[in-house]
């Protein structure tokens, strides 16, 4: 399936452009074995003319046949190329960006390529229950790898200390996997948390 790049997309979002749209599909909790619970997920990546994508993922627990049982969770955040913020960029808060974007051409974006031939990215994601994640990683063509740099937890949040996520575009479908560490035992590492297979619906 060809990737359509919106004409009003700021140049630095072109590497992320294949994510833009709405995706739906099913997944499994945990390692995805026979006893793992099923869920349905709707994901959207939206741009508004600024140099980031707005992300939202809403999930529902389902029966084996796909029947929705109850809401599971919602997460929301922002995806962007990782680079130094310039005077032309907006923020913090309501400080407006310049009308002309900080990176104005494909050549300026290409200069951000890393030694591996991809682009460094940052992703911030907020969850219910007082948890927020800051990921750093790489996008290289239709593949994304993310690792938490920081997990912020509220005073009454459940244990959650680290995570990795991978995303890939395969035959026009979005596949992802999420591994987490919930702390607790000393030296406890990352364990499978969930994975899904999503189709683009718009």
State the binding site: 158, 193
The most distant pair of C-alpha atoms in the chain lies apart, rounded to whole Å, by 53
What are the C-alpha distances in Å from 106 to residues 12, 14, 142?
8, 9, 18
Mark the binding-site residues for heme b, compressed into ranges: 158, 193
CA angle 56, 44, 125 (to 5 degrees): 30
List all residues 6 or more positions away from 67 whose beta carbon is below 8 Å from its beta carbon. none
Residue 144 CB-density burial (10 A; 0-12 exposed, 13-18 middle, 19+ buried): buried
Backbone CA torsion sign across 43, 38, 71, 161? negative
């Amino acid at each position: 399936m060809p990737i359509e790049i919106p004409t009003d997309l700021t140049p630095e979002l072109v590497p992320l452009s294949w994510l833009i749209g709405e995706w739906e599909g099913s997944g499994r909790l945990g390692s995805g074995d026979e006893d793992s619970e099923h869920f349905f997920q709707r994901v959207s990546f939206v741009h508004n003319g600024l140099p980031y994508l707005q992300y939202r993922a809403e999930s529902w627990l389902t029966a084996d046949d796909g029947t929705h049982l109850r809401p599971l969770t919602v997460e929301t955040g922002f995806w962007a190329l990782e680079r130094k913020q310039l005077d032309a960029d907006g923020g913090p808060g309501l400080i407006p960006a310049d009308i002309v974007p900080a990176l104005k051409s494909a050549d300026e974006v290409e200069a951000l390529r890393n030694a591996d031939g991809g682009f460094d990215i940052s992703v911030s994601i907020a969850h219910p229950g007082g948890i927020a994640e800051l990921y750093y990683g790489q996008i290289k063509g239709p593949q994304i790898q993310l690792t938490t740099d920081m997990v912020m937890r509220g005073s009454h949040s459940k244990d959650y200390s680290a995570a990795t996520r991978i995303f890939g575009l395969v035959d026009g479908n979005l596949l992802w996997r999420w591994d987490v560490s919930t702390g607790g035992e000393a030296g406890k590492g990352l364990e499978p948390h969930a994975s899904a297979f999503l189709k683009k619906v718009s």
